[in-house]
Amino acid sequence: MKKRYSHLIRPLFLMIDILIINLMVYSISDAEYLNTAFLTYISLFWFVSSFITGFYKVYRFTKSYRVFPLLVRQFFLFILGYFTYFGIFREGDIVGNQTHVLASIIFGIVVAKFLSFYVLKKYRSFGKNYRNVVVIGEDDTSKKITKFFQDKKDLGYRYIGFFSDEKTEKNDCLGNIKESASYILKNDIDEVYCVLSQLKEAQVKEIKKASNQNNCAVKLIPNANELYNKNVSAEFYHDSTLILNVKKLPFELSENHFIKRLFDIFFSIFVCVFVLSWLVPVLWVLIKLESKGPVFFKQKREGLNGIQFVCYKFRSMSVNKLADVLHATKEDVRITKIGAFLRKTSLDELPQFFNVLKGNMSVVGPRPHMNLHSQQFEKEVRNYIKRYAVKPGITGLAQVSGYRGEIQKKADIKNRVRLDIFYIENWSFLLDLKIITQTFFNAFSKEDKAY
């Protein structure tokens, strides 16, 4: 996996802006504003409103004058939220300095916005925070794009070269189009620009496949037929050149990772405090009374990017040598009486909320398999490795859709992977809530594979 840090820029700017808001309020030193309730409200409202308005969606190619509409949208919503606080929580009170505090916040944010915009450009002009780009195909538009990359050093694009089937003696020609996919896989390329007028559909698919494997962004230099494709969005480079951006999957957006992680932390803390705090001692006694061995079962599983971690469960079997190689089967003699109940209700999975807090897992995601089985499935099941793009989950779409427990035939794992890939490509916060709700109700229903 490439080590790219650009995804940290937006969260950093968000944190800086929230810090500025708090510092501006602190500088006024008015007790009406300098209190936990107001500062918490105003910080949370800025956080939420910035996602609604897309305030931090400023790209390398964004012109400075396009920052103004972002500021107008954000402050329009923020000002409404600002005065709403006094209308709801201080109704009937006369609170002075309202305009003074608001003006200070606006001034601080505007200065920070433009300062960060120009500082980042200057930083990139020194060859920092760059992206390696290649162009596949050559026409008049691609030549404009190439010149744009070479002239605008402050945008942080490092042009490597182009691929073309036309005979050329240009030094920046990297080979023919057929060689481009192999080049993308073997080199540290961040963005690939495809000239659609020069490429066949099969070639574009092959380039997209190679780019996905190497975590590259794919951009399309369009022909007329591509302008109405719902899977792309239009961008203008230097106001005149139209580029079609292949829409990113949900987990390619850093803000979605942030939202999911924030929910994981709060939900896990809730479960640990209000459920596990009393359930662990009770199950400790019951498990120990029935069989010898530890209360918690620990097993290595593969997580994000295939990195191994120790997964926790309540022990539901008597201690045995086959625990790490053999799935539980129906009427498995290894399963204890209390273990059968735990597995039936999925309570044996609850210690994995500790994994979630540690950052190894998420509440919702593809279920992690035994390492031995994962190695087998990687070879046998198409797209299995794509599951490693996100953290494994305590529950998942495949599990609430009936695919849980023992894998009896190849179709079982294929359907699980199919649903896992669907979840990754179509993730939303509401989908997570739906899966969690369904998991809760499934715990009280009779499932044939819950053993």
Task: Give the pLDDT confidence of 149-192 residue by residue, as tens digits.
Answer: 888 888 888 899 999 888 877 888 888 888 888 898 888 888 89
The CA-based dihedral angle spanning residues 283, 289, 294, 296, taken in that order and rounded to the nearest 10 degrees: -20
Whole-number pLDDT of residue 228: 41
Chain CA centroid to CA 413, Å = 24
Q: Considering only 14-23, 94-103, 358-367, which range has the smallest mean pLDDT?
A: 94-103
392-401 burial, b at 16+ Cβ within 10 Å, e below that, comes to: bbbbbbbbbb
Span 142-148, average pLDDT: 83
**Which segment, 120-129, 352-361, 373-382, is predicted with the most confidence on average?**
352-361
Angle at 304 between CA 302 and CA 309, to 5 degrees: 40
Kindly calculate the radius of gyration of the chain based on its CA atoms and give it in whole angstroms.
27
Ranked by mean pLDDT, the top range of 227-241, 289-303, 330-344 is 289-303
Per-residue pLDDT band at 145 (split at 50, 70, 90): confident
Q: Which of 59-68, 105-114, 221-230 has the highest mean pLDDT?
A: 105-114
The candidate with the shortest Cα–Cα distance to 117, out of 56, 51, 46, is: 56
Distance, in Å, from the CA atom of 346 to the CA atom of 357, rounded to the nearest integer, reads: 19
Cβ within 8 Å of residue 15, ≥6 positions away: none
Token code pair at residue 441: 């109700």
Query: What integer pLDDT is reported at residue 109 of this predicted model?
Result: 93
Highest mean pLDDT among 33-37, 161-165, 431-435: 431-435
Single-letter code of the amino acid located at 280:
V
Residue 34 has what pLDDT? 81
Q: Which of 73-82, 206-215, 394-403 has the lowest mean pLDDT?
A: 206-215
pLDDT band at 388 (very low <50, low <70, confident <90, very high): confident
What value does the mean pLDDT of the chain take?
84
In this predicted structure, the answer to whether residue 1 has a pLDDT above a threshold of 50 is: no
Total residues found in the chain within this entry? 451
* Residue ranges of domains in the chain, CATH in brackets: 6-125 (no CATH), 131-247 (3.40.50.720), 254-442 (no CATH)
pLDDT tens digits, 318-372 = 888 877 667 777 777 888 899 889 988 889 999 999 999 999 999 999 998 887 7
Residue 40 tokens read as 């918490």
Predicted local distance difference test score (pLDDT) of residue 266: 94
% residues pLDDT > 70 (the chain): 89
- The position carrying tokens 């829409």 is 247
Kindly state the average pLDDT of the residues 416-436.
Answer: 91
The pLDDT, as a whole number, for residue 345 is: 87
Q: What is the pLDDT of residue 224?
A: 43
d(CA 36, CA 59): 34
How far CA 377 is from CA of 214, 308, 386, 416, in Å, comes to: 21, 16, 12, 11
